[in-house]
Amino acid sequence: MISREDCLQLDRRWPFAETRRGFDLPEGLIYLDGNSLGPVLHGTADHLADVVAGEWRSGLIRSWNPLPGGGGDWIGLARRVGDRIAPLIGAGPGEVHVGDSTSVSLFKTMAAAARMRPDRHVILIEEGTFPTDAYIASGLSGLTGLEVRFFTGDPVRAIGDDVALVSLTHVDFRTGRAFDMAEVTAAAHRVGALVQWDLCHSVGAIDVDVSAADFAVGCTYKYLNGGPGSPAFIWVRRDHLPAVHQPITGWMGHAAPFEMTLEHTPAAGIARMASGTPPILALSALEHALTAFEGLSMSDVRAASLSLTELFMALLDEQGFDVVTPRSSARGSQVSFRHPHAYGIVQALIGRGVIGDYRADPSAGTDRDGIARFGFAPLYISHADVWDAAEQLRAVMRQEEYADPAYSSRNAVT
């Protein structure tokens, strides 16, 4: 049996005690859902208030350019935020655009990739992918005639020479299984296919290196704590940029938007991935949230993530749960288990101040047999939190709190 004292011992080597103090977490709550919506940092609200008062209210339209006393320069904000995200994914400055939702970003990159391989007609997608990735591919297919081909199991075996783009979610949102990015990327390139990684469940929790791939996208409201609906990012390998033509050719992706010409000339750099006016308030909140990563080593973050998830799996084993997350290091920063009462268990835990979430798994047959999912954000979750959460789970199971009739119908958002 693992004791709380064992966990406090592990916390003595956990390097994020100071980082954790930067988060404004409600007292008494253990937040294991940072893989769905990260918490707010101290200071984000003040920063937003400053942007509203100093730049929007006082600077007004002048704030698109740099203001004389500092601040403003909204036109450069997407680029500045992208440059803060770049080191978290192994990218360089000027390679990351931030501005649309992940869904819209996927549409742009998938369409751009297809145009780069005009002699091929397949987008390869995993059957268990996050649904929006499949939905967007199918929307693009309706427009272009591209075939969306689904595979299960090892992607390397599924990549044929008719594949234009292999588009994968790096970490499975249900189980937490992670693909070997380097191996899959190399296999795709051997047959001339392009590779895109969806990093929604990786960025900010795992040390990823996209530099060998072609495209990447990712959310910023999960482990990057940018706030609900904060804009997603797109990374494009620098040497592809001149050949990348995304389809939503709005004026903000133009080489010279204020020349007001009729023809669209794409911007030379990553700005060509932009379309419309950037969401300045959302980008400002995100810019502040990313200060939490300043000076952190992503390999330290990764080591802490592995340690926290390993601990939670060991504690679930003690209670006999059906853990579906890989034991090997081929996993993200979450732990999931399958249970016929998964929804009720998650709700009862929330009632006890431990927030995780529930995900349906249509492939499991009965729709009651879903997944309870817990995310471990190393920047603010300690080993003692993990132990305390497991104790609450023990109480939920002992007292069968999951069977409460209040949990028999599901909320719109699970």
Positions annotated as catalytic residues are 130, 198, 221-222, 373
Of the pair 58, 132, the CB lying nearest ligand PLP is at 132
Tokens 């509203």, residue located: 52
Distance CA 279, CA 266 (A): 20
Tokens 């991935």, residue located: 273
What Å distances lie between residue 288 and 38, 204, 409, CA to CA?
13, 15, 38
Tokens 């958002």, residue located: 413
Distance CA 48, CA 70 (A): 16
**From the list 86, 96, 168, 200, which residue makes contact with ligand PLP (rule: CB under 6 A)?**
200
8 A C-beta contact, residue 11 and residue 335: no
Of the ranges 3-11, 182-190, 193-201, 269-277, which one interacts with ligand PLP (CB under 6 A)?
Answer: 193-201
- The reply to whether 361 sits near ligand PLP by the rule CB under 6 A is no
8 A C-beta contact, residue 347 and residue 318: no
- The reply to whether 103 sits near ligand PLP by the rule CB under 6 A is yes
State the minimum distance, in angstroms, from the CB of residue 106 to ligand PLP: 7
**From the list 81, 164, 205, 232, which residue makes contact with ligand PLP (rule: CB under 6 A)?**
232
Q: Looking at residue 255, what DSSP letter applies? A: S
8 A C-beta contact, residue 377 and residue 53: no
- The reply to whether 130 sits near ligand PLP by the rule CB under 6 A is yes
- The reply to whether 401 sits near ligand PLP by the rule CB under 6 A is no
Query: 102: helix, coil or strand?
Result: helix
**From the list 19, 44, 167, 169, which residue makes contact with ligand PLP (rule: CB under 6 A)?**
169
Binders of ligand PLP: how many residues, by CB under 6 A? 13
> By CB under 6 A, what part of segment 249-268 binds ligand PLP?
none
State the minimum distance, in angstroms, from the CB of residue 1 to ligand PLP: 34
Q: In 3D, which of 169, 240, 175 has the Cα closest to residue 208?
A: 169
**From the list 133, 361, 385, 401, which residue makes contact with ligand PLP (rule: CB under 6 A)?**
133
Binding residues for ligand PLP, rule: CB under 6 A, are: 101-103, 130, 132-133, 169, 173, 198, 200-201, 219, 232
